[in-house]
Chain A
Amino acid sequence: MTLLSIEGLGITFGGIAAVKDVSFSVRPGEIVSVIGPNGAGKTTLFNMISGVYRPGSGRVVLNGEDVTAMSPHLLARRGMCRTFQNLQVFQSMTVLENTIAGYHLQESGPVLADLLHLPASRRRARAAEQGARELLRRVGLERAAEREAGSLSYGSLKRLEIARAMALQPRVLLLDEPAAGCNAVETEEIDHLIAEIAASGVAILLVEHDMKMVMRISNHIVVLDHGEKIAEGDPATVSRNPAVIAAYLGAEHAAG
């Protein structure tokens, strides 16, 4: 059963097609990775799926509902959440508060109750805090809970973003380079975390540069080059695909 399906998604910037006619689908509990050389359009694709950009063409269907270009906060209500390649944590808030923010949909209520500090408001906030502390334990940040997020290391921030996204109890989680900039130990921790989340039935869509990690944890891989899907399949199939090899080699030649 398909949870998220991407149907012919495309967008142009200033007349140049950044992403062109990309389709694939994700099932619950599945880890689907999108790979491709730099500038292949992976993050742009993510931004379209998560409602940050409005696609020029195509559809995004979530659990049978057309959610194309829907605002991210409405997608969140429908169970889709994401992390960001260039970290979007709430820098001046504490680690705990960052995570509690992920519980926003559960904890938010009438603003008047918040202003008056009514029991209902406190109850909601307390429940969110308990959940957040539990999540921080899961990602190994419980000891940093009261620190200002801006003071954390890069790897910790990556985990914090995942914790915040998990707080939504999403059905679909989009992770944009969760291991970028992390050392081997941190990468492995994140690796485990992702597998664990998928095992609980969450559909995961991943953009990642660390090929070893991608090959290790993905059920399905989509390869983009110059904005177009050039291959798709399980890790073994994709890694033997000549078009994929050419794209990566070509990219490396160009870079070298």
Chain B
Amino acid sequence: MRLTTKTATLLALVALIALAPLFFPSAFYYRVGALIFVNGLAVTGIVILTGWAGQISLGHAGFAGIGAYACALAPVHLGLHPALAILLGAGVSAVLAWLVGRPILRLKGYYLGVASLGMGILISMVLNNERDLTRGPDGIDVPDLGLRAALKTAGLDLSNGEFWYALCGIVLVLGAWLALNLHDSPTGRALRALHGSEVAARTVGMDVPRLKLQAFVISAVYASVSGSLLALQNRFITPDVAGFMHSVEMVTMAVLGGVGSVAGAIFGAAVLTLLPQMLTVFAEYEQLVLGLVMVLVMIFLREGVVPSILRKLRGTGE
């Protein structure tokens, strides 16, 4: 039963990613797909932190910023291959999350929210202000990953759009697989348990601060890799990637789709990535409609789109 939830989610994801290009009206949709996957990856991290462990963060874009700027800076300053820069960014994010998480995860609810917000703002401020290193708010070029050229010499010639669609899709499936593994593992169970009742979790021997910290670090790595992929794909990055709005966007995607489930969160990422593209027909009314959609979804599907609909499909018999 639980096994099928995991395999069903993964199979559906793989099928969607593999088959969707058959229906693309133009090459532009590869770009949209790749963005959905990048956002989906970050949001999967939010599911682990917020959906399962019950801890909110309003500063996770900071980690995306670290991942992104690692790819911009490490190849230039450290001579690192961009692929290794992704790992470096993830490592730096993990260490930072571990250091910052220890004191701030003692806080609860909104207090944790404001503390993580402060952390995110500090990171984006450094990216904005340390011009000599980051080139400031106007942004910085990111080197080419080089993988596409390598594939070409190996006989696989993909367009830029196709390449990033495929790569981000693969990474998302990998990220979802890891997260779904975690869900039914001892650690995942413990995270969900401490969300349910912290005091009970402690009495059955769970080291609550350590577990929260693990969730925080793991989700930071997800955000960081997502930031790296965005930077490498865009070949250019600005400190906006670490901004408050990006953090809020991550949480909104997760909650809208259903923060408790990986499938829901990825769906939320897809909706909020697609929506602005579809709403362009509304021109000046775009913001209005976007806000309206968010409010209506939360009123009528309050647990998020996917869990609410699943519950309705199963019926309320229980």
Determine direct contact between A and B, CB below 8 Å. yes
Does B208 reach chain A (CB closer than 8 Å)?
yes
**In the assembled complex, which residues on chain A have CB atoms less than 8 Å from the CB atom of B197?**
88-90
Residues of A within 8 A of B (CB): 50-52, 71-73, 75-77, 81-82, 84, 88-93, 97-98, 100-102, 104-105, 107-109, 111, 114-117, 121, 124-125, 128, 146-148, 151, 164-165, 167-168
Q: 12 new A-B pairs (CB below 8 Å) besides A88-B200, A97-B193, A104-B186?
A: A73-B207, A75-B203, A77-B205, A90-B192, A90-B195, A98-B193, A101-B190, A104-B205, A115-B178, A115-B181, A121-B185, A128-B186
A62 smallest CB distance to B (angstroms): 14
Does B9 reach chain A (CB closer than 8 Å)?
no
Q: How large is the interface on B (under 10, 10 to 19, 20 to 34, 35 or more residues)?
A: 20 to 34
* Contact of B205 (CB < 8 Å), options: A76, A111, A117, A148: A76
Does B166 reach chain A (CB closer than 8 Å)?
no
Does B170 reach chain A (CB closer than 8 Å)?
no
Does B273 reach chain A (CB closer than 8 Å)?
no
* Contact of B184 (CB < 8 Å), options: A51, A88, A125, A148: A125
* Contact of B318 (CB < 8 Å), options: A75, A76, A151: A151
Residues of B within 8 A of A (CB): 1, 178, 181-182, 184-190, 192-193, 195-197, 199-208, 214, 218, 260, 318
**In the assembled complex, which residues on chain A have CB atoms less than 8 Å from the CB atom of B188?**
114
Q: Are B184 and A101 within 8 A (Cβ)?
A: no
**In the assembled complex, which residues on chain A have CB atoms less than 8 Å from the CB atom of B1?**
146
Q: Are B204 and A101 within 8 A (Cβ)?
A: yes
Q: Are A124 and B218 within 8 A (Cβ)?
A: no
Q: Report the bound CA distance from A246 to B260 in whole Å.
A: 53
Q: Are B200 and A109 within 8 A (Cβ)?
A: no
Write the chain B residue with the least CB distance to A78.
B205
Q: Are B187 and A73 within 8 A (Cβ)?
A: no
B181, B204, B214: most-surrounded residue (chain A CB, <10 A) = B204
Known A104-B190, A125-B184, A125-B185; contact A89-B178, beta-carbon cutoff 8 A: no
What would be 23 A-B contacts, judged by CB atoms less than 8 Å apart? A72-B199, A72-B202, A73-B203, A77-B205, A81-B203, A81-B204, A88-B200, A89-B196, A90-B195, A92-B192, A92-B195, A93-B189, A93-B192, A104-B193, A104-B205, A114-B182, A114-B186, A114-B188, A115-B187, A116-B178, A116-B181, A124-B186, A125-B186
**In the assembled complex, which residues on chain B have CB atoms less than 8 Å from the CB atom of A104?**
186, 189-190, 193, 204-206
Write the chain A residue with the least CB distance to B215.
A111
Q: Report the bound CA distance from A125 to B190 in whole Å.
A: 12
A72, A76, A98, A165: most-surrounded residue (chain B CB, <10 A) = A72
Q: Report the bound CA distance from A82 to B186 in whole Å.
A: 21
* Contact of A84 (CB < 8 Å), options: B182, B185, B199: B199
Q: Report the bound CA distance from A221 to B189 in whole Å.
A: 37
Write the chain B residue with the least CB distance to A71.
B202
* Contact of A101 (CB < 8 Å), options: B182, B193, B199, B218: B193
* Contact of A111 (CB < 8 Å), options: B203, B206, B218: B218
Q: Are A90 and B181 within 8 A (Cβ)?
A: no
Q: Are B193 and A90 within 8 A (Cβ)?
A: yes
A241 smallest CB distance to B (angstroms): 32
Write the chain B residue with the least CB distance to A161.
B200
Q: Are A72 and B203 within 8 A (Cβ)?
A: yes
Would you list the 4 A-B pairs with minimal beta carbon distance, nearest first?
A76-B205, A90-B196, A114-B185, A88-B200
